[in-house]
Structure 1
Amino acid sequence: MRTILPLNDQWFYLPEYVEREVSAGIDASRYEPIQLPHTNVELPYNYFDDKAFQFISTYKRELNIPADAKGKRVYVDFEGVMTYAQVFLNGLKAGEHKGGYTPFSVELTELAEYGGPNVLTVIVDSTERDDIPPFGAVIDYLTYGGIYREVQLRIVEPVHLGTVFVQTPEPLAANKAVRVVVELEGISDQQDDLTVALQLLDGASVKAETGLEAVTAAEVTLELKELGGLQLWDIDDPKLYEAKLTLLRSGEELDQVTVCFGFREAEFQPDGFYLNGRKIKLLGLNRHQSYPYVGYAMPKRAQRRDADVLKEELGLNMVRTSHYPQSRHFLDRCDEIGLLVFEEIPGWQHIGGEAWKEQAVRDVEDMIIRDRNHPSIVIWGVRINESQDDHDLYTRTNELARKLDPTRATGGVRYIVGSELLEDVYTINDFVHDGGHKKYLAKEIRNFDTYDDTEGVDGETTGLRQPSLVTKLDHPVPYLVTEYNGHMYPTKRFDQEERVMEHALRHTRVQNASYADEGIAGAIGWCAFDYNTHADFGSGDKICYHGVMDMFRLPKFAASVYRSQKNVEQEIVMEPVTYWSRGERNIGGIVPLVVFTNCDEVEFIYGHERKGVYRPNREKYPALPHPPVVIDELTGHWGMKWEDAVFIGYVDGQEVTRKYYSRNPVPTELRVAADDMVLEVGDWDVTRVVVDALDEYGNVLPFYADPVSVEVEGVGELIGPSSLSLIGGRIAFWIRTKGEAGQIRVKVSAPSRFGPQELSIHVQ
């Protein structure tokens, strides 16, 4: 049977490349001990040289391969290394890999010393090489270096199970079927008496199983038919099953693999998207996989939590993995919670030469083979984001995708009006909405000369263009908006009130337009989280403030646009877009006062005066499931006494939530809360800690910027600096484990205003 050994601890790191180090041992006096995932350099939150991580580094680890592995095959599996990796064992080259976002395996069988120590060396080139996508021109995100995903040692028999593809033909039938195609590695003409068995598992129970299928070729297809009593995978009830494959020789087990999958039908039609025959409007955001300080190098818990933030906190039903394949842990969690995924290959506008194109085609293959069993993934992005048409290249990528996975649609994200459609879905970045201030502002900002500006645009009512004006086709086709807003209106969490309100309203208008047009399957906004970027983009401090949340996953007001579309059974949402101050807006006042809510009514009390009960504004936002409430009444002119306020939300005539605002807010509480109070030993684990400066009513003080200091003791350590300034009244940081059990004690001090706050996190 196969043996899997995690190789994420006991690594040694040198932030440089010296040729003689390849064949040398590990000099602990020169190398830094590290754990994986690992970033090649820890960066500041903002204001740094965007070339700081672009260098070649050396990773080493002692590797003890058991003596009884001799005669078997030994591999080291890498989940992701940025960007070009060369792998050596005992000074001899074992393999290499180009590309930072797809997994690869290197065989060590012939080079290994069995029963004794080996030295595994990985030389990591994190420069922006022009032969590897997405590089060759400028790109609007950073590709942080290092071995930033997990590594494992895999020991298998000479003949073993390879790639597995689980298909569910006719999933909507009462009696279902499973077809599994499995490749066998190491098989030869002399192999005989090999068989493969398939079991369908639901947790610990066996739902069905095949007889033993004789192996006659390197690819075996097994089927289970007439399966009753099985559930569909759906966004509201994401039921997962497992396909367990066993390879045997003369009845003796040689290898075993288990793959999660779900029964579901996902179709893009000209009139929208259908999941299991039910039409669903896709509501989504784009996700970059980056974090403050450590870039891409975050472990399983953080990756999974991002999926929870998108689905559970923001209420989305779709995410686009912009602009590259992302962590398997993130995708696993999307499967578990029912978050649909648009996954695409690495790239950003630029198409390189022939070697570059060949690598792009390999990226399609590697992405699909790794991820085609995820029921959450409903469309493959097989075109470089926002690139020009390239008939030959995109004919190849589409043909390859359909060959590797005939069950899913292909898309190719473009900005070009009338772009050649080779994919199944016309996917477009539509930045037409500018708030009604200037016609097709996107054309001028991004220098896109292919926007069709023959049609006038009313920014107050037009959030998206009609599909037919974009496709230039004489017939409707499946159509999905994959970006909007973003660079059109970058907004910081602590920006002036009118700006944060307009930022939120732009998301509102675009989503209203998406819901209003049956020819649009949905709209995926740019973007979920702020992200670090190159000097060519962003706000000059190496951050693009395009998210509805900041880099710490702390929400801006625009996040409430999405949250408020939830059903009230999921969460009661009532978020007035206000800092509640007379003089924050130009000229003073607070109107119009926008409240994002899924309540039926909102009562507004100013001081002791009941101003009225207000309903969602369906006149202006008729298509949204839950339009915002807009209060236009004046609460008093400049110079009058400012009063406290109360907002009360009602559902079916019953009060369900209440929020108070102070006319005279003062710092009252420093709240410190961790996402997780229990972490795990072994590979390093992580949790986020959020610090809030609150007023007397429990509201965040939006312009509070005093410093806090963080002290960590016990079996954990702080990621990033220990002295932090609150940003807009809030800040967050991550605490990581060291692989040991015990307690992590976290102390946050703000001596100027508050007493120290302490947390104890258990590692078990």
Structure 2
Amino acid sequence: MLKQLLRCLLLILLLALPAAAQQRITQSINSNWLFRKDAAESTAASVAAATGWEKVSLPHTWNAADVLDDEPGYYRGTGWYRKTLQVPAEWQQKRVYLYFEGANQEAEVYVNGQLAGRHAGGYTAFSFPVSQFIKFDGPNPASAQVLVKLSNRHNVDIPPLSADFTFFGGLYRDVYLVAASPVHFDLDNYASNGTFLTTPTVSKDAAEVVLSGALSNESATARKLTLLTQVLDAAGKTVVRQQTSLTLKAGENRRFRQPLPQLKQPHLWSPTDPYLYRVVSTISEGKAQLDELVNPLGLRWFRFDAAQGFFLNGQPLKLIGTNRHQDVSGRGNALPDALHEKDVQLLKQLGGNFLRISHYPQDPAVLQACDRLGILTSVEIPVVNAITDSEGFFQNCRTMQTEMIRQGFNHPSVIIWAYMNEVLLRLPEGIKRDNEPGRAYLKKVNQLAQQLDDLTRREDPSRYTMCVNHGAFELYQEAGLTKIPQLVGWNLYQGWYSGELPGFADYLDRHHRELPDKPLLVTEYGADSDERLHSFQPRRFDKTTEYANAYHQFYLKAILDRPFVAGSTVWNLAEFSSETRQEANPHMNTKSLLTADRQPKDAYYFYQAHLLQTPFLRIGSRGWNLRSGPAAGPDSLFCRQPVEIYTNQPAVRLLVNGRDLGTKPAEFGVVRFNVPFGNGWNRIRAQAPGQAVEDQADVEFQLLPTQLTSTQLPFTELNVSLGDQRTFSDAQLHQVWVPEQAYAPGGWGYVGGTVYKLPGERLPYGSDRDILGTSYDALYETQRVGLRQFRLDVPDGEYEVTLHFAELEAAPAAEQLVYNLAGTGAASGAAPKAGRSFSVLVNGVAALPNLGAAATLPPLQAVSFKIPVSARNGRGIILDFQPQTGETILNGLQVKRLY
């Protein structure tokens, strides 16, 4: 009897609460979760009693570390999350939901042991009603046990099937608890907020705004309601309002469409002036406010033209920006909002106005930041490389596309909804484009594209549709994928994966010639660059900063020279995780304008020189502040090396250590100087004549004597990368590795042998395999094969010699990654050799006898040996390489004078 009385009193109190208390409550529940991996695939009932739980907070991924280690692969399986919620007693009459911004990729959510719902797909939000699972006991808070089962396993029915990025598992975005009045805006519309803003007409004189959506009455009685929508300007002043009265029956969910009065003289939204209104919509009953939503409103209009490009608010605008992946090294994809926002800010600081959010919808913080900062966007679902011919796959694609559109509908930054990326890059096994299964597969891909395009145009006729293709023009024409979407995006890598740089411009012209009515965007282009690697004779695929610079300079000019190219997005904003990659930076894709820790590369400054409107000047290779090189001659005390200056000014004056090197004109945003570096610190100052803009950089230079017995420039140390034409700078160890050279009397160098090179033309030299046991893969991936000697004519003294080896051939061939676009399906690496055996003699002493792949040189393993050496009687240091079986090898050599 007492319990019944308490419940009645509680109900009276709830009904008597002031209006504000009836409104929607949204709170994050990111703290105090428990996590455990579960390779055994436990059930919800059994896992609750399991041990081995780890305390975590969200966002969280279980792959932050294992994607970076030397073990191939990473955990793709099941993980469980558990949390106890305390639900306030005041929520007994509310409708409670669990809202997940994203979880990768198959989710099951249980509340108090009961299944609340399932979701497929790792990159869109989902929510489930959970009120029915929460048991209250009078005025006391209720305890709710939340259990989430996740799996990032490969599933043939869930895109992406494969891709050049890592499929991190986990609850890697925010999770919220939402409590709403029984009368509320629709909470069951693909995890959207249930309201949708459209602007049927916008001009500089007037704008029409319409709010549509649905209202739900989950109470037991009919309700007489008022729907009030107000548009507030940036100062908070109401500029237009509309009020609608309606009655909802008990249990009714009713759609509505509410046109607002015309907004006169609107403040338009653009990248240079991203002005946002706020649209505040409330549901009231009498004086009691039951629910409220706030949406951003940016008033703008736009169009794409196949001949003239893109127009915003009636003015031509070249879309220039980047792609973006959602991970940061060491954190995986489990990022706080601040890091998502930081990336958008870095794009804005670049001068960019366009972001391709690739290859999946990302954290809501990204589009919110784009709205605020004035970045136009394209968003896509992760149908990458290939499809599965199954109804399950097709249905998941349709659901993802609907979720993406409805969840992002009200963001003014969005101008494109896309749905495929390089979908014909990887044909299923046994299928060829010219056989019957191949033709059937292309037809299925066409059907899926048509379904997604039709769905998108129904859902949101105001935005454009886009399909993104790799550079197989005839293949995508044959499949009809250039006809279905309103826009075609091309991912083009001429001069990188294949071909030469001029092929890029030729490809653009071909599109315009053969598809004259189809607007074009260059959705990807880029070249890997390792900030540690440099070359004054850069070559395709050498991963140097200098080749990436030349690549971007060619591509941007070709893009800007062609009005029909509506826009372009560099691949990528920042280096990102791709666990299957090997190469010089294992498990990372380094095609980017920023390093993984968001430090600018040279190409970032180059784009700033072209995109920023304020005076700009920046000295390039700022991260290359530790250099080395040989003196210009036996009596010289300097070494000349090139330096690039990036600027939007007509000319630049350069001073080095106070010495004026003169003024040079800029050529397409770049000024090049050949700088004489002296031993030690060198201060470089760059100035734009007539402008109060300048830059300064300090470079430490390790000058190497050409004659090692020089008294003017005493020999101290030498680090050589064999089989390499690049310089490798290691700031952490304060070492610069210089390229190999042939021996000349009085100096140093190899005698005999050849540069190690894989078959084919993709790599100029060296291997593309992950070298285990080192973070200096670039050094161990190159070697000289068959050398007879390495000589150093150093003065008498005591030295330490370190020899570095890696067996590059006595290992199984690796699968050629499909995105390399060179011999898809072929093996990478030379065929395994039977083995090699050789000895190294140091000044006649067999310091390393019988080096062999089977014992001392394991395949693809970094191996080094440190040897003390005495140089006496003017002989210097002579390393003799004597083969027993196969050829001798040497990957790297270090010599340090001790005294």
By the TM > 0.5 criterion, same fold?
A: yes
Distance in 1 (CA, whole Å) between partners of 2:329 and 2:585 is: 16
Question: Equivalent residue of 2:530, what SS?
Answer: coil
2:668 pairs with 1:630 = no
Question: Equivalent residue of 1:374, what SS?
Answer: coil
**Which residue does 1:751 correspond to in 2?**
none
Superposed counterparts of 1:23-422, under 5 Å? 23=45, 30-43=52-65, 46-49=68-71, 51-114=73-136, 115-135=141-161, 138-162=162-186, 163-185=194-216, 191=222, 193-203=224-234, 204-214=236-246, 218-250=254-286, 252-270=288-306, 271-312=308-349, 314-354=350-390, 355-387=392-424, 390-415=445-470, 416-418=472-474, 419=476, 420=480, 421-422=483-484
**TM-score when scaled to structure 2?**
0.66
**Which residue does 1:423 correspond to in 2?**
485
Query: Is the alpha carbon distance of 1:346 and 1:465 closer, same or farther for their aligned partners in structure 2, counting shifts above 3 Å?
Result: same
Report deviation, 1:610: 3.1
Amino acid at match of 1:82: N
Question: Equivalent residue of 1:153, what SS?
Answer: strand
Distance in 1 (CA, whole Å) between partners of 2:518 and 2:71 is: 44
Distance in 1 (CA, whole Å) between partners of 2:112 and 2:322 is: 46
Q: Deviations over 1:355-397 (max 9, x none)?
A: 1122111111111111111111111112244437522111111
**Which residue does 1:507 correspond to in 2?**
552
Query: Is the alpha carbon distance of 1:590 and 1:38 closer, same or farther for their aligned partners in structure 2, counting shifts above 3 Å?
Result: same
Distance in 2 (CA, whole Å) between partners of 1:645 and 1:253 is: 66
Report deviation, 1:167: 1.3
Q: Deviations over 1:472-527 (max 9, x none)?
A: 63533211000112xxx421111124331221121111011100001101221111
Report deviation, 1:726: 12
2:629 pairs with 1:583 = yes
Amino acid at match of 1:258: V
Distance in 2 (CA, whole Å) between partners of 1:537 and 1:183 is: 51
Report deviation, 1:442: 2.7
Question: Equivalent residue of 1:59, what SS?
Answer: strand
Distance in 2 (CA, whole Å) between partners of 1:385 and 1:250 is: 55
Distance in 1 (CA, whole Å) between partners of 2:776 and 2:693 is: 32
Report deviation, 1:556: 1.8
> Is the 8 Å Cα contact of residues 381 and 404 (structure 2) preserved in structure 1?
yes
Question: Equivalent residue of 2:563, what SS?
Answer: coil
Report deviation, 1:184: 2.4
Question: Equivalent residue of 2:602, what SS?
Answer: coil
Q: Deviations over 1:737-761 (max 9, x none)?
A: xxxxxxxxxxxxxxxxxxxxxxxxx
Distance in 1 (CA, whole Å) between partners of 2:263 and 2:66 is: 55
> Is the 8 Å Cα contact of residues 480 and 520 (structure 1) preserved in structure 2?
yes
Distance in 2 (CA, whole Å) between partners of 1:351 and 1:579 is: 47
> Is the 8 Å Cα contact of residues 539 and 545 (structure 1) preserved in structure 2?
no
Superposed counterparts of 1:14-25, under 5 Å? 14-16=36-38, 22-23=44-45
Report deviation, 1:165: 1.1
Greater alpha carbon shift after TM alignment, 301-310 vs 154-163: 154-163
Greater alpha carbon shift after TM alignment, 586-595 vs 252-261: 586-595
> Is the 8 Å Cα contact of residues 382 and 419 (structure 2) preserved in structure 1?
no
> Is the 8 Å Cα contact of residues 417 and 472 (structure 1) preserved in structure 2?
no
Report deviation, 1:268: 1.4
Distance in 1 (CA, whole Å) between partners of 2:131 and 2:562 is: 57
Report deviation, 1:423: 0.9
Distance in 2 (CA, whole Å) between partners of 1:308 and 1:464 is: 30
Report deviation, 1:235: 0.4
**Which residue does 1:602 correspond to in 2?**
652
2:589 pairs with 1:544 = yes
Amino acid at match of 2:153: T
Distance in 2 (CA, whole Å) between partners of 1:120 and 1:641 is: 64
> Is the 8 Å Cα contact of residues 529 and 548 (structure 1) preserved in structure 2?
yes
2:564 pairs with 1:532 = no
Amino acid at match of 1:560: Y
Greater alpha carbon shift after TM alignment, 198-207 vs 268-277: 198-207
Question: Equivalent residue of 2:696, what SS?
Answer: strand
Distance in 1 (CA, whole Å) between partners of 2:552 and 2:511 is: 20
**Which residue does 2:731 correspond to in 1?**
704
Amino acid at match of 1:557: D
**TM-score when scaled to structure 1?**
0.77
Report deviation, 1:570: 6.6
Greater alpha carbon shift after TM alignment, 42-51 vs 77-86: 42-51
> Is the 8 Å Cα contact of residues 576 and 596 (structure 1) preserved in structure 2?
no
Question: Equivalent residue of 1:426, what SS?
Answer: strand
> Is the 8 Å Cα contact of residues 12 and 26 (structure 1) preserved in structure 2?
no
Query: Is the alpha carbon distance of 1:189 and 1:109 closer, same or farther for their aligned partners in structure 2, counting shifts above 3 Å?
Result: closer
**Which residue does 2:815 correspond to in 1?**
none
Superposed counterparts of 1:588-667, under 5 Å? 590=640, 593-606=643-656, 609-617=659-667, 621=668, 627-631=669-673, 644=682, 646-650=684-688, 653-662=690-699, 664=701
Report deviation, 1:539: 4.2
Query: Is the alpha carbon distance of 1:414 and 1:153 closer, same or farther for their aligned partners in structure 2, counting shifts above 3 Å?
Result: same
Distance in 2 (CA, whole Å) between partners of 1:570 and 1:143 is: 41
Question: Equivalent residue of 1:225, what SS?
Answer: coil
2:511 pairs with 1:470 = yes
Distance in 1 (CA, whole Å) between partners of 2:630 and 2:157 is: 51
Distance in 1 (CA, whole Å) between partners of 2:504 and 2:72 is: 34
Distance in 2 (CA, whole Å) between partners of 1:553 and 1:571 is: 20
Distance in 1 (CA, whole Å) between partners of 2:398 and 2:495 is: 34
Question: Equivalent residue of 2:688, what SS?
Answer: strand
> Is the 8 Å Cα contact of residues 201 and 208 (structure 1) preserved in structure 2?
yes
Greater alpha carbon shift after TM alignment, 507-516 vs 245-254: 245-254
Distance in 1 (CA, whole Å) between partners of 2:238 and 2:405 is: 28
Distance in 2 (CA, whole Å) between partners of 1:347 and 1:124 is: 21
Distance in 2 (CA, whole Å) between partners of 1:25 and 1:116 is: 22
Distance in 2 (CA, whole Å) between partners of 1:166 and 1:585 is: 67
Distance in 1 (CA, whole Å) between partners of 2:410 and 2:77 is: 35
Query: Is the alpha carbon distance of 1:49 and 1:214 closer, same or farther for their aligned partners in structure 2, counting shifts above 3 Å?
Result: farther
**Which residue does 1:480 correspond to in 2?**
521
Runs of 5+ consecutive residues of structure 2 not aligned to the other structure: 1-22, 187-193, 426-441, 537-543, 704-727, 735-773, 779-899
Distance in 2 (CA, whole Å) between partners of 1:171 and 1:186 is: 34
Report deviation, 1:629: 1.5
* RMSD across aligned positions (CA): 3.3
Amino acid at match of 1:407: S
Q: Deviations over 1:318-357 (max 9, x none)?
A: 1111111011112111111111211111132111132112
Distance in 2 (CA, whole Å) between partners of 1:18 and 1:2 is: 40
Distance in 1 (CA, whole Å) between partners of 2:158 and 2:48 is: 30
Higher RCO (CA 8 Å, separation ≥ 6 residues): 1
> Is the 8 Å Cα contact of residues 530 and 585 (structure 2) preserved in structure 1?
no
Amino acid at match of 2:323: N
> Is the 8 Å Cα contact of residues 76 and 108 (structure 1) preserved in structure 2?
yes
